[in-house]
Amino acid sequence: MKMKMVIHGKKLSVTPALKKHVETKIGRLIARYDEIIEIDVTLSAENMKTGLNHKVDVLLHLKGTTVRRSAEGLASEDYDLYVAIDEVADVLETQMAKIKGKRIDNMKTGSLVKDIKYNPETHTIERHTEGTIVTSTVSPRPMDIEEAILQMECLGRAFYTFVNSTTGEMNVVYRRDEGDYGHIEPNK
């Protein structure tokens, strides 16, 4: 899927040089983060009593969320629209790294996302989850394979972990699709 970047000016004409600077600085996010669907950039300049105020608003539409960041400041020798673009790009880089880190953590312990759909017309995101990862701990007791199969059947489970009374090692018995049983033991 091709990512879309929209750059427009508010009370300001977007010159080719400004457009190229935005595409270079903010566009680098595209290469690093594949969850970005669309980027809206609004550049503005507004006359104020204290001088010209430059502002950059960026709205990132991601798979699952939206991120909005701004940078603004009074125009001076040290501050212009290019500096505002650089500042917002740096802030977005940090924010995207945090979001990516959280998503990786959620994938380890959170819900399994089956399908994410973004509607650019309404700017809404629909997320359908398939299920949740539930972590369980077991304290298997020593038993033979036949007793483990009986325990599995009594509990109505698809598999059962146990300590093999013969070898003293952790084993698993499971119900196969064909209707018979499988046994997993560690490689010696």
Per CATH, the number for 4-131 is 3.30.160.100
Write down the pLDDT at residue 1.
Answer: 47
**In the prediction, which pLDDT does 184 show?**
92
Angle subtended by helix axes 81-109 and 16-25, to nearest 10: 30
pTM: 0.51
Query: What's the pLDDT at 129?
Result: 58
**How many helical (H) and strand (E) elements, i.e. helices and strands, does the chain have?**
4, 10
> What is the pLDDT at residue 128?
58
Residue 171: predicted pLDDT: 92
* Sequential pLDDT tens for the chain (188 residues): 456 888 988 888 888 998 999 888 888 887 777 778 888 898 888 777 777 778 888 888 877 677 888 877 655 545 678 888 888 888 888 888 887 777 666 555 555 555 667 777 777 766 655 556 666 666 778 899 998 898 888 888 888 899 999 888 999 999 988 888 999 998 87
Q: Which residues contact 158 (CB under 8 A, 6 or more apart)?
A: 152, 174, 175
Asked if 19 and 8 count as a contact pair (C-beta separation under 8 A), the reply is no
Question: Among 126, 102, 104, which Cα is nearest to 115's?
Answer: 126
Give the Cα-Cα-Cα angle 176, 177, 182 (nearest 5 degrees).
10
User: Residue 126: what pLDDT?
Assistant: 67
Domain with CATH 3.30.160.100 in the chain: 4-131
């017309």: which residue's tokens?
121
Confidence at residue 34, expressed as pLDDT on a 0 to 100 scale: 75
Q: Could you tell me the end-to-end alpha-carbon distance of the chain, in angstroms, rounded to an integer?
A: 47
Architecture of the domain whose range is 142-184:
2-Layer Sandwich (3.30)
Residues near 41 by beta carbon (within 8 Å), at least 6 away in sequence: 5, 6, 7, 8, 22, 26, 56, 57, 58, 59
In the chain, residues under CATH classification 3.30.505.50 are 142-184
